[in-house]
């Protein structure tokens, strides 16, 4: 199978580093900070969308300033505050050994995503690590992967609506993971074909995908 993983909320829990970096940006803009728990809803979307909502503005200059402050902290400190979800490293190793083609498609900048994967010692399990940054959309990353893999079927794995919407828009089988930051309702409403409760269930994806296909008449 060709498995495309989101990074934040799917492979690792980035909440400490992201929420602290969001507050760092707010503080440096002279604005009030927020409790970390209230900022976890911003884990997943692009930084442009995050700061547009968080600052309640369409001011491109202000949003760019916020992103610069965020990246200043995250690139130096924040990405090291990530924590891998239990058993994820062994799961990726097993999937890779089974000859599944693994990719990462994340809204992070490509170099930051690569740094996170290398920090955790998992980068070698992936054929490629792709990131959006401020210039690309996640659907473009998945389409690029599809072209690299000669239009073979792709499984998109993520924890937020942005992953499901991007995958569904080009016909992927979409797997929503419930150990991240998206709710069951969010994932179902945005097109998840199946939902997983625990990372270990990733090892059963082939069987689950086949079962879904038989039940849905595909």
15-81: which CATH topology?
A: DNA polymerase; domain 1 (1.10.150)
Name the active-site residue from 6, 8, 13, 163. 6
Alpha-carbon gap, residue 180 to 189, rounded angstroms: 16
User: Which one, of 102, 94, 125, lies nearest residue 204 by Cα?
Assistant: 94
| Active-site residue flag, 210 | no
DSSP 134-149: TT--HHHHHHHHHHHT
Token match 């602290």: residue? 20
The domain segmentation of the chain, as residue ranges, is 2-13+83-216, 15-81
Tokens of 126: 């992936």
From residue 214, give the alpha-carbon distance in Å to each of 24, 189, 207, 217. Answer: 49, 22, 11, 5
Alpha-carbon gap, residue 156 to 176, rounded angstroms: 8
Alpha-carbon gap, residue 78 to 17, rounded angstroms: 4
In whole angstroms, what separates CA 83 from the centre of its chain? 14
Q: Which CATH class is domain 2-13+83-216?
A: alpha beta
Q: Give the predicted TM-score (pTM) of the model.
A: 0.90
pLDDT in tens, the chain (218 residues): 899 999 999 999 999 999 999 999 999 999 999 999 999 999 999 999 999 999 999 999 999 999 999 999 999 999 999 999 999 999 999 999 998 899 999 999 999 999 999 999 999 999 999 999 888 999 999 999 999 999 788 999 999 999 999 999 999 999 999 999 999 999 999 999 999 999 999 999 888 777 677 666 65
Q: How far apart are the first and last CA of the chain?
A: 17
The pLDDT value given to residue 66: 98
Tokens of 57: 């503005």
Interacting residues of 36 by C-beta distance below 8 A, sequence separation 6+: 15, 16, 19, 20, 23
């Amino acid at each position: 199978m060709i498995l495309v993983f989101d990074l934040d909320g799917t492979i690792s829990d980035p909440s400490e580093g992201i929420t602290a970096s969001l507050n760092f940006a707010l503080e440096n803009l002279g604005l009030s900070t927020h409790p970390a728990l209230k900022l976890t809803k911003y884990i997943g979307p692009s930084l442009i969308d995050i700061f547009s909502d968080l600052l309640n503005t369409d001011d491109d200059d202000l949003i760019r300033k916020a992103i610069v402050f965020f990246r200043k902290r995250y690139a130096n400190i924040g990405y090291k505050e990530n924590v891998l979800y239990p058993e994820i490293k062994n799961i990726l190793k097993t999937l890779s050994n089974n000859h599944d083609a693994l990719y990462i498609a994340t809204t992070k900048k490509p170099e930051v995503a690569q740094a996170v994967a290398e920090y955790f010692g998992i980068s070698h399990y992936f054929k490629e690590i792709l990131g959006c940054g401020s210039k690309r959309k996640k659907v473009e990353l998945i389409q690029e992967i599809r072209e690299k893999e000669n239009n073979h079927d792709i499984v998109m794995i993520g924890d937020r609506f942005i992953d499901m919407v991007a995958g569904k828009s080009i016909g992927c089988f979409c797997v929503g993971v419930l150990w991240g930051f998206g709710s069951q309702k969010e994932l179902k409403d945005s097109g998840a074909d199946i939902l997983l409760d625990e990372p270990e269930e990733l090892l059963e994806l082939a069987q689950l995908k086949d079962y879904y296909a038989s039940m849905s008449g595909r």
